[in-house]
Amino acid sequence: MEPLTWGFIGTLVGTVVGASASILTTIINARNVSRNQNRLEIYKRQEIFREFQRDNYLKIQERTYKAHRLVSLLYVQDLQNLKDNGQWQQGILNAENSNELLFTVQDLLMYLERIQNEKLREEIRNLTGKMLRVSHTSDLKESNQLLTEIHVDISSAMKILGTELRNNYYSADVTY
């Protein structure tokens, strides 16, 4: 064969090999882009979920302390009423504090339904139940016992809340 023919065949083979390499590179690149896009979408969904959980945990933390403060205020009013009239929980409590406690507990229970941690959910439910019972006890001793339990339960719940908050600011299960 003549050199001209070999030149033509070489050019043709080179063109086919070059085009094939380009097509293959494009396919590989498209797969990588698609895979990276899927990972990014998964990461975004996980981040939205973590942000939602963080917001709810922070609101639960805030409402729990607010409810505890209101329970303490109502307890002090009960003590003052006991001092004034000699009867436990027979005086009229501040309606504003009492209503605010009910609204705060209502908010707290609403936020509890949004969180993923079942143990924390149950712990806060028990805590709010005790908080609501403080103003409905039969004597000062029972009320003091409930307040002691509330103090211990709040410490436990806040530890769990802190752990959950930290876990939702960083997630080790995210792959890049």
The C-alpha atoms of residue 40 and residue 43 are separated, in whole angstroms, by: 5
Residue 176's CB is within 10 A of a number of other CB atoms, namely 6
DSSP state of 41: H
Would you kindly state where each structural domain of the chain is located, as residue ranges? Answer: 47-171
Per-10-residue mean pLDDT, the chain, length 176: 80 85 90 93 93 96 96 93 86 87 95 94 95 90 95 94 89 53
pLDDT score recorded for residue 54: 95
pLDDT score recorded for residue 173: 55
What contacts 172, CB < 8 A, 6 or more positions away? none
pLDDT score recorded for residue 176: 45
Q: Which residues of 100-113 are buried (b: 16+ CB within 10 A; e: fewer)?
A: bbeebbebbeebbe
